[in-house]
Amino acid sequence: MVPRPAALPLGILMVGVGGILLFVAFHNLPPEVKTFSDFLGHMAVQFQQSGAK
Amino acid sequence: MSRVPTGGGAPTGTDFLALTIDQIGTPYVWGGDRPGGFDCSGLVKWATEKLGINFPRTSEEQWAAVQRIRADQLQPGDLIFMNFPGEAAPGHVVIYAGNDQIIQAPSTGQLVQRDSFTAGTAQQWGATIVGYGRIPGLNYSGEPVTTNLGKGGTTAGGAGSGGQATGSILSNIWDALSLGPGFTGGPSPSDIANSILSVAAPLVKVAEALDWFFHPDHWIRLFAGLAGGILVFSGIWQMSHAGEGGG
């Protein structure tokens, strides 16, 4: 067995950074977005609108 | 031709101006601060360096270092700072040569040159005048110039800088407030607004960054969602396998 002392802090760091990114992704959405499927629909509309510009 | 004063006393604004005039015809080179090529602030930096004055390199830093003066106080060797659209801080500096003329290193493809410069010239160029400044350490009309607003510089003449600097601050405040009827000198409201904007520019950058963070574009949301999910999943996996061996 080779010890992996850096795995725990690395894991904490990755979860921390990932949490921030998930916050950026899912915060401040329009109030009508309440479920994940609503979110996917909202994003699809956004991309269609940006593609139409 | 050497214009560096050899006698005692502080170099004058005219000495400084003469050095820049000697460089007329030198090509504009962005980042250049030697006689082979100059940009606008590089020309100022080089000439001050030749006179033994420690002066900053960029136009933004130079604007922070000069003693602020009014347009009607301009003397040969003073500096005029201006902004072009999209610039948060003074992006261009020219040297006042007297008689409504300036010396400047304008832009790529041009040479260091003498141009006429009147009240409307900056607007014709699409620029806004940020303000006028005097280089600390140069002697104008026999009086050494104090540094700007107690920034820790020195006076060319030595003693009495504290009192003179305080007087300069009060004078600037008074000048800014003296905008009543019949007042012809002093900074215009647009000059004051530009000064405030130049101070506020870093705060605007912070506000833009916060706006980006709290109102992300949908592309940023997509990237953040994917990357965040992968990172969290990988992080949990890492932690749950922290005690296991890698071999």
Cβ–Cβ gap A10/B245 under 8 Å: no
Note the pTM of the prediction, 2 decimals: 0.48
Whether residue B216 lies within 8 A of chain A, CB to CB, comes out as yes
Instruction: Give the end of a domain, one of B158, B179, B195.
Output: B158
- C-alpha A9/C-alpha A51 separation (Å) is 41
Is residue B128 domain-shared with residue B244, that is, in the same domain? Answer: no
| Residue B108 lies in domain | 13-158
Is residue B41 domain-shared with residue B143, that is, in the same domain? Answer: yes
In a domain, B137, yes or no: yes
Mean pLDDT value of segment B2-11 = 59
Is residue B135 domain-shared with residue B247, that is, in the same domain? Answer: no
pLDDT in tens, A12-49: 999 999 999 999 888 888 888 888 888 888 888 887 87
Instruction: Give the end of a domain, one of B112, B136, B158.
Output: B158
In a domain, B1, yes or no: no
Residue B30 has pLDDT above 70, yes or no: yes
Is residue B149 domain-shared with residue B53, that is, in the same domain? Answer: yes
Residue A34: is it exposed, middle or buried by C-beta count within 10 angstroms (0-12/13-18/19+)? exposed
- Check the CA dihedral B80-B173-B163-B58 and report its sign: negative
Cβ–Cβ gap B239/A3 under 8 Å: no
Q: How far apart are the first and last CA of chain A?
A: 57
Instruction: Give the end of a domain, one of B142, B158, B174.
Output: B158
Give the three-class secondary structure for B107.
Answer: coil
The shortest C-alpha distance from A31 to chain B (Å) reads 14
What does the pLDDT read at residue A16? 95
Q: How many domains does chain B have?
A: 2
The upper half-sphere exposure of residue B182, i.e. CA atoms within 13 Å in the direction of its Cβ, equals: 0
What does the pLDDT read at residue B80? 93
Residue of B nearest to A12 (CA): B235
Residue B181 has pLDDT above 60, yes or no: no
Of residues B243 and B56, which shows the higher confidence score? B56
Residue B163 Cα distances to B134, B167, B169, B177, angstroms: 18, 6, 10, 21
Cβ–Cβ gap B229/A50 under 8 Å: no
pLDDT in tens, B117-155: 887 888 788 888 888 999 988 887 655 444 443 333 333
pLDDT in tens, B70-85: 888 888 899 999 888 7
Q: What CATH number has the domain bearing residue B20?
A: 3.90.1720.10
pLDDT in tens, B191-201: 777 777 777 77
What does the pLDDT read at residue B1? 46
Mean pLDDT value of segment B155-174 = 44
In a domain, B109, yes or no: yes
CB B193 within 8 A of CB B128: no
